A and B are shown apart, each in its own frame.
Chain A
């Protein structure tokens, strides 16, 4: 690992590479620096900004803080960025400043974690809430049976997505496995040491728990570690939402049974593509209204994506090497969690003890 990488990454395309496209300034602002999920997003973004004609900047507060993000947005507005992409630390706090940005003609795209709809043009949702929740619950039931006690490990009581996932899990359980019981929800505060203590506490205090479902990156590792440390590997199942790489050890020693996640690198690419298309849409390029957009569009065939509620729109991910076509939700969808102008990135990937070695994030 390189020690001493800088924290604000900037990449500027050479003019030749961006055939026929004006260079635009796009900033990617995750919740905080140094979190592997966001680094994976950045990796994806960096791999495509060149051909998309994007002058790219990756910047974030040092610790997760909505106020820190607001300061950064303010400075990006002052620096005349064309598109701001963000994973919101809080859905409401940045609303005023993002609206100011939109008023200044800046396209705002949230990814991973949404802000209030009034404060962004588009949202790239990782994956549908119901799909991923179902994946986790089904896997847990397969391991522990439909009548088991399970516990959930989250980060904080007000983490938006995690609340949505928990909600989706609960409704799925109510519908499919009425005897499956969620005995408690532990909070690991997004850090591994606390997650570890919490998970240990849960294992001790709820001896009947047969599976623990950690749905936050730190909680996943902390839970697996607690299970391993208390020699419960294989007796208590761990199924969660997180990246495989930090958990290789636990997959290997049997403390971890299954994880679900979207392709974070791909999500970064898609975010940049979306940034370009949104910019084009706002600056006169034709809308993407075709039912089936060209399979391999060249930049000249690109169309812009406008804030246009109520009409289904499609675009093709091939430009950045992503398979398939993405649709933009026209209206809110309770089940998937989509809201207006939302692009659902992908179905979750499932990592198991047999396939975890294939992934490097």
Chain B
């Protein structure tokens, strides 16, 4: 088909894409990377105990926050599509406990792991089903299923949750290393790259992002919104389940509440990673960087001798500062602020006078 152009697009204009659409995301990602470098440099130079860890010691620190990163990757998939999953923490607990209990029943541990991951995906599918079938807020649905998964985990775990898994298992998902690099980090790298490819380079990822931007328009464009969302929740459940397995391996024990403390950090990572909580905008690379940024920040502060309370609060403060920075980066916001001030100054008296009349 060809038609007479009424007027033509400017030639060569398509190169300008990165300058407009993705610019903010790029700036954000670069800023995160820079911040990470600055942070590591600071700890290395200013904290002797951190320096004395050596390369392998520093890399080993990762073992303590990569599961948060895994949950965050899954969470990011859901958030990109404009939803949220609050049940990921409970899901981690559940999958860890399930794996451990199955193993305790005599199942091969790897088989148990696969089954637990399957159950986690199923749990995610339940979330997705409730959200898409009844067309209701995922915030609320997952708020509810969070309790349910937690209860199931407690019930499965019983009084004395299993521990002391086979060596091969603990090595791979727990504390083993290849040279100075923890096995966990390698597994995480694989998952992270896969998640990044999924979102940035596949048809499914494209659908997901478009759904996040405008759900109705996606439907009208032939994207199967329900199915895509369902899979997003499955992905989130699966990655949360994987995190649960990692956690169990690292601690060499399963516990029914082990994931509870992972939810908020994971959401923090997602937001800090630059994913718009309303969906659409954001990059997996940002989430990955934010995992390391927050992780090293917390661990570094602890090694510096700060209390874990301080570390947690610093996390909150960093989050607020970054968000303020983000608003500031958004040059529209600046213009808006100027406009607002003008409004305020000139319109103040009137506004004050004004309710009644």
Partners in one complex: yes
Q: Contact between B159 and A163 (Cβ–Cβ < 8 Å)?
A: yes
Stretch with Cβ within 8 A of A (4 or more), from B48-56, B182-190, B196-204, B330-338: B48-56
Tell yes or no: A70 within 8 A of B by CB: yes
Q: Contact between A67 and B251 (Cβ–Cβ < 8 Å)?
A: yes
Assembled-state Cα–Cα distance A78/B262 (Å): 23
Distance to closest chain B CB from A73 (angstroms) = 10
Q: Contact between B161 and A74 (Cβ–Cβ < 8 Å)?
A: no
Top-3 shortest CB links A-B: A92-B253, A75-B302, A92-B163
Given contacts A65-B260, A158-B159, 14 further A-B contacts (CB under 8 A): A7-B309, A7-B310, A8-B309, A57-B305, A62-B312, A67-B247, A71-B308, A72-B302, A78-B303, A79-B303, A90-B253, A95-B163, A95-B164, A96-B252
Residues from chain B with a CB closer than 8 A to the CB of A59 are: 307-308
Q: Which of A8, A59, A66, A78 has the most CB of B within 10 A?
A: A78
Distance to closest chain B CB from A250 (angstroms) = 30
Q: Contact between A66 and B49 (Cβ–Cβ < 8 Å)?
A: no
Within 8 A of B (CB), among A20-50: 33
Contact of B251 (CB < 8 Å), options: A78, A79, A94: A94
Assembled-state Cα–Cα distance A92/B309 (Å): 23
Distance to closest chain A CB from B249 (angstroms) = 9
Q: Contact between B251 and A70 (Cβ–Cβ < 8 Å)?
A: yes
Per-position contact with A for B289-332: 1 when CB-CB < 8 Å, else 0?
Answer: 00000000011001101111110100000000000000000000
Q: Contact between A71 and B64 (Cβ–Cβ < 8 Å)?
A: yes
Tell yes or no: B71 within 8 A of A by CB: no
Tell yes or no: B218 within 8 A of A by CB: no
Residues from chain A with a CB closer than 8 A to the CB of B299 are: 71, 74-75
Tell yes or no: B103 within 8 A of A by CB: no
Tell yes or no: B123 within 8 A of A by CB: no
Q: Contact between A74 and B261 (Cβ–Cβ < 8 Å)?
A: no
Per-position contact with B for A91-114: 1 when CB-CB < 8 Å, else 0?
Answer: 011111000000000000000000
Q: Contact between B261 and A92 (Cβ–Cβ < 8 Å)?
A: no
A60-B308 CB under 8 A given contacts A92-B164, A92-B251, A158-B256? yes
Per-position contact with A for B38-76: 1 when CB-CB < 8 Å, else 0?
Answer: 000000000001101100010001001000000000000
**A119 nearest CB neighbor, chain B only:** B252
Tell yes or no: B237 within 8 A of A by CB: no
16 contacts between A and B (CB under 8 A): A7-B309, A74-B302, A79-B303, A90-B253, A90-B255, A92-B255, A93-B163, A93-B253, A95-B251, A96-B174, A96-B175, A96-B251, A158-B154, A158-B158, A158-B256, A163-B159
Tell yes or no: A299 within 8 A of B by CB: no
Tell yes or no: A68 within 8 A of B by CB: yes
Tell yes or no: B239 within 8 A of A by CB: no
Assembled-state Cα–Cα distance A71/B311 (Å): 11
Residues from chain B with a CB closer than 8 A to the CB of A62 are: 308-309, 312
Q: Contact between B251 and A8 (Cβ–Cβ < 8 Å)?
A: no
Tell yes or no: A80 within 8 A of B by CB: yes
Assembled-state Cα–Cα distance A137/B189 (Å): 56
Tell yes or no: B135 within 8 A of A by CB: no
Assembled-state Cα–Cα distance A75/B170 (Å): 21
Q: Contact between B161 and A158 (Cβ–Cβ < 8 Å)?
A: yes
Residues from chain B with a CB closer than 8 A to the CB of A281 are: none
Tell yes or no: B208 within 8 A of A by CB: no
Contact of B50 (CB < 8 Å), options: A57, A68, A72, A78: A78
Q: Contact between B252 and A92 (Cβ–Cβ < 8 Å)?
A: yes
Residues from chain B with a CB closer than 8 A to the CB of A237 are: none
Residues from chain B with a CB closer than 8 A to the CB of A79 are: 49, 303, 305
Interface residues, chain B, with chain A CB atoms under 8 Å away:
49-50, 52-53, 57, 61, 64, 154, 157-161, 163-164, 170, 174-175, 247, 250-253, 255-258, 260-262, 298-299, 302-303, 305-310, 312
Tell yes or no: A17 within 8 A of B by CB: no
Assembled-state Cα–Cα distance A254/B139 (Å): 47
**B261 nearest CB neighbor, chain A only:** A65
Assembled-state Cα–Cα distance A239/B256 (Å): 30
Residues from chain B with a CB closer than 8 A to the CB of A163 are: 159
Assembled-state Cα–Cα distance A75/B304 (Å): 8
Tell yes or no: A63 within 8 A of B by CB: yes
Residues from chain B with a CB closer than 8 A to the CB of A92 are: 161, 163-164, 251-253, 255
**A93 nearest CB neighbor, chain B only:** B251
Contact of B308 (CB < 8 Å), options: A57, A66, A68, A93: A68
Distance to closest chain B CB from A65 (angstroms) = 5
Contact of B306 (CB < 8 Å), options: A8, A65, A93, A95: A8
Per-position contact with B for A114-138: 1 when CB-CB < 8 Å, else 0?
Answer: 0010000000000000000000000
Residues from chain A with a CB closer than 8 A to the CB of B255 are: 66, 90, 92-93
Assembled-state Cα–Cα distance A153/B1 (Å): 79
Tell yes or no: A61 within 8 A of B by CB: yes
Distance to closest chain A CB from B251 (angstroms) = 4
**A99 nearest CB neighbor, chain B only:** B252
Q: Contact between A70 and B258 (Cβ–Cβ < 8 Å)?
A: no
Distance to closest chain B CB from A275 (angstroms) = 19
Q: Contact between A33 and B309 (Cβ–Cβ < 8 Å)?
A: yes
Distance to closest chain A CB from B39 (angstroms) = 16
Residues from chain A with a CB closer than 8 A to the CB of B305 are: 8, 57, 75, 79
Q: Which of A67, A71, A74, A96 has the most CB of B within 10 A?
A: A67
Residues from chain A with a CB closer than 8 A to the CB of B61 are: 74
Distance to closest chain B CB from A171 (angstroms) = 17
Distance to closest chain B CB from A269 (angstroms) = 23
Tell yes or no: A157 within 8 A of B by CB: yes
A95-B258 CB under 8 A given contacts A7-B307, A71-B64, A158-B157? no
Q: Contact between A78 and B53 (Cβ–Cβ < 8 Å)?
A: yes
Q: Contact between B261 and A67 (Cβ–Cβ < 8 Å)?
A: yes
Residues from chain A with a CB closer than 8 A to the CB of B50 are: 78
Residues from chain A with a CB closer than 8 A to the CB of B260 are: 65
Q: Which of B49, B253, B306 has the most CB of A within 10 A?
A: B253
Q: Contact between A66 and B303 (Cβ–Cβ < 8 Å)?
A: no
Distance to closest chain A CB from B280 (angstroms) = 33
Assembled-state Cα–Cα distance A153/B37 (Å): 51
Assembled-state Cα–Cα distance A67/B67 (Å): 12
Distance to closest chain A CB from B70 (angstroms) = 14
Q: Contact between B251 and A75 (Cβ–Cβ < 8 Å)?
A: no
Residues from chain B with a CB closer than 8 A to the CB of A65 are: 257, 260-261
